[in-house]
Amino acid sequence: MYTLLLCWRYLRTRWIALASVISVTLGVATMIVVNAVMAGFAHEMQSRIHGILSDIVFESHSLSGFQDPQWHMEEILRAGGDDIEGMTPTVAVPAMLNFQVRGQWVTRQIMLIGIDETTHARVSDFGRYLQHPDNRRQLSFGLRDGGYDTIDSQTEDQQVATRPALEGAGWPHRRMRVERERAWRQRQAELQGSEQAGGPSGGPVRPVDHQVDAVLADTTPAVTTAAAPPEEFAPTSEAHPPNAPLDPFRAAKPEEQGRVFDPSREQFTGIVPGIGLASFRDSSGIDRFLVLPGDDVKITFPTAGTPPKAVTDTYTIVDFYESKMSEYDSNFVFVPIEQLEKARGMIDPQTGLPSVNSIQIKLRPGANLEAVRDRLRKAFPADMYAVSSWKDKQGPLLSAVDMEMAVLNILLFMIVAVAGFGILAIFFMIVVEKTRDIGILKSLGASSSGVAGIFLGYGLFLGLVGAGAGLALGLGITWNINRIRVLVEWCTGERVFDPSIYYFFRIPTIVDAWTVAWIIAGAVGIAVAASVLPALRAARLHPVEALRHD
Site of interaction with other proteins (CB under 8 A) = 1-2, 4-6, 9-10, 13, 436-437, 439-448, 450, 542-544, 547
CB of 388 to other proteins, least distance (A): 59
**Closer to other proteins at the Cβ: 7 or 523?**
7
Going by C-alpha positions, the residue among 363, 451, 463 that lies closest to residue 20 is: 463
**Closer to other proteins at the Cβ: 359 or 546?**
546
**Closer to other proteins at the Cβ: 172 or 450?**
450
Going by C-alpha positions, the residue among 393, 397, 390 that lies closest to residue 123 is: 390
C-alpha neighbours within 13 Å on the C-beta side of residue 410: 5
Burial class from Cβ neighbours inside 10 Å (0-12, 13-18, 19+) for residue 362 reads buried
C-alpha neighbours within 13 Å on the C-beta side of residue 281: 19
HEC letters along 530-543: HHHHHHHHHHHCCH
CB of 528 to other proteins, least distance (A): 19
**Closer to other proteins at the Cβ: 110 or 426?**
426
CB of 550 to other proteins, least distance (A): 8
Kindly report the length of the chain: 550
The rounded Cα 102 to chain-centroid distance in angstroms is 30
**Closer to other proteins at the Cβ: 43 or 436?**
436
246 phi/psi in degrees, rounded to 5: -85, 70
**Closer to other proteins at the Cβ: 92 or 451?**
451
Taking a C-beta distance cutoff of 8 angstroms, is the pair 98, 106 a contact? yes
CB of 527 to other proteins, least distance (A): 21
CB of 434 to other proteins, least distance (A): 9
Taking a C-beta distance cutoff of 8 angstroms, is the pair 477, 37 a contact? no
CB of 437 to other proteins, least distance (A): 5
CB of 423 to other proteins, least distance (A): 19
**Closer to other proteins at the Cβ: 324 or 442?**
442
CB of 422 to other proteins, least distance (A): 22
Going by C-alpha positions, the residue among 505, 482, 508 that lies closest to residue 155 is: 505
User: What is each CA distance from 206 to 86, 192, 200, 235, 237, in whole angstroms?
Assistant: 55, 11, 12, 9, 12
Taking a C-beta distance cutoff of 8 angstroms, is the pair 222, 261 a contact? yes
**Closer to other proteins at the Cβ: 436 or 485?**
436
